[in-house]
Amino acid sequence: MTQLLDYFAARREEMVQTLADLVMLESPSNEREAVNAVGDYLAEAFAAQGAQVRRLPQTAFADHLRVEWGSGEDQVLLLGHMDTVWPLGEVETRPFQVSADGKRAVGPGVFDMKGGLVIGLYVVQALRELGLQPSHRLVFLFNSDEEVGSLTSRPFIEEEARRSKASLILEPSRDGALVTWRKGVGRFEMEIHGLASHAGAAHERGVSAVEELARQVLRLEAMTDYERGTTVNVGVVQGGSKVNVRPANAWAEIDLRVTSAEEGERMVRAIRNLQPINPKATLIITGGLNRPPWEESPAGRDLFERARRLGAPLGLNLWASGSGGGSDGNFTAALGIPTLDGMGIEGNDAHATTEWVDLTSLPRKAALLAALLLELD
């Protein structure tokens, strides 16, 4: 354990430079060439460590990356994503910067989740250079579309998960929390059609799609049940054409979060079966769960306990946590694969301009991941 921590501590500045390189390679989900540049960087870096790298070509988004290192009949799956929520040009106003005391860094995507990519890369380097060979293969899957729901990468993730004895997610961690469960995530679109008419001369002839939408929003928001852990959020609405026209069309985007598969099925039915309040309006609802709930399991809890025990001599006070946000760990856990999330860098404020990371956590979290991979033998 000391050998691992010493190795990463000696290379902390090198790891910080790699993090800076990746942050400055901006990678919004919808910018294919930009995300592919991150893939190129990782492919070259892992190949230099003797890993087998295979691109999984895509058209709608950037290519995914499959990286295999080591040997053995079994494999452990490590998941990370290359895309971020930040648009191109964000680094011009918020470049990668390290605080004066060298303990913190900021920049778009530094926390979610360029820091985790760095940890995964240097763990392979450490195992190779220290001659520490796990008895199982390591398979990394770096996808390009996690921030928009892993639409094209989900089949690859599930395929690799079914071959794996465990799944470790390189998403970041807050205050030493490792994630052992996550809510399922649903996305829906509601489209409403009414009838246009003159707002003054023929008000009574019109059917307001905006009025129908307003009533449906109240109905949807009322489905939130905090005791069940279920939330419904109407996050985007649009409707109408001109102020003096009864609006013929309206539209909304809806977010659903649930804690169990059973609750997910109940809520999907409830939302999809909504009927118009005004019988003259037409309601069209599409969507469903795009990330299944990750429910805590004994096997997943055992994985956490191993990590907690290994983290103590590294100075890590780890604790089990859950999250209302989804990750690619939802897919692997739903298949019954022991899954542990939060194996990446520590920090906070994902998706916010105040996003930051604790650079002192880089050696400790890298040592933890390496030790856990060896422990799984």
Give CA–CA dist 105/63, Å, rounded.
Answer: 28
Q: Report the number of secondary-structure helices (H) and strands (E) in the chain.
A: 11, 16
**Mean pLDDT score of the chain:** 97
3-class SS of residue 230? strand
Residue with tokens 């780890």: 318
Q: Is the pLDDT of residue 73 over 80?
A: yes
pLDDT category, 353, cuts 50, 70, 90? very high
SS (H, E, C) the chain: CHHHHHHHHHCHHHHHHHHHHHHHCCCECCCHHHHHHHHHHHHHHHHCCCCEEEEECCCCCCCEEEEEECCCCCEEEEEEECCECCCCCHHHHCCCEECCCCCEEECCCHHHHHHHHHHHHHHHHHHHHCCCCCCCEEEEEEECCHHHCCCCCHHHHHHHHHCCCEEEECCCECCCEEEEEECEEEEEEEEEECECCECCCCHHHCECHHHHHHHHHHHHHCCCECCCCEEEEEEEEEECCCCCECCCEEEEEEEEEECCHHHHHHHHHHHHCCCCCCCCCEEEEEEEEEECCECCCHHHHHHHHHHHHHHHHHCCCCEEEEECCCCCHHHHHHCCCCEEECCCCEEECCCCCCCEEECCHHHHHHHHHHHHHHHCC
Question: Mind listing the pLDDT tens digit for each residue in 307-318?
Answer: 999 999 999 999
Question: Average pLDDT of 23-43?
Answer: 98
pLDDT category, 58, cuts 50, 70, 90? very high
Q: Is the pLDDT of residue 377 over 90?
A: no
**Which of 2 and 87 is assigned the larger pLDDT?**
87
Question: Mind listing the pLDDT tens digit for each residue in 245-266?
Answer: 999 999 999 999 999 999 999 9
Q: Which residue spans of the chain are classified as CATH 3.30.70.360?
A: 184-291
Give CA–CA dist 172/325, Å, rounded.
Answer: 12
3-class SS of residue 276? coil
Superfamily of domain 2-182+294-375: Zn peptidases (3.40.630.10)
Buried-state track 42-59, b at ≥16 Cβ within 10 A, e below 16 = bbebbeebebebeebebe
The yes/no answer on whether domain 184-291 falls in CATH 3.30.70.360 is yes
Task: Give percent above pLDDT 90 in the chain.
Answer: 99
3-class SS of residue 220? helix
Question: Average pLDDT of 95-106?
Answer: 98
Task: Give percent above pLDDT 70 in the chain.
Answer: 100
Q: Which residue spans of the chain are classified as CATH 3.40.630.10?
A: 2-182+294-375
Q: Is the pLDDT of residue 209 over 80?
A: yes
Give me the helix-helix angle, 115-129 and 2-10, nearest 10°: 120
pLDDT at 2: 87
Q: Is the pLDDT of residue 1 over 80?
A: no
pLDDT category, 284, cuts 50, 70, 90? very high
Give CA–CA dist 374/165, Å, rounded.
Answer: 13
Question: Average pLDDT of 7-30?
Answer: 98
Is the separation of the CB atoms in 145 and 61 below 8 Å?
yes
| Amino acid letter, residue 184 | G
Question: Mind listing the pLDDT tens digit for each residue in 120-136?
Answer: 999 999 999 999 999 99
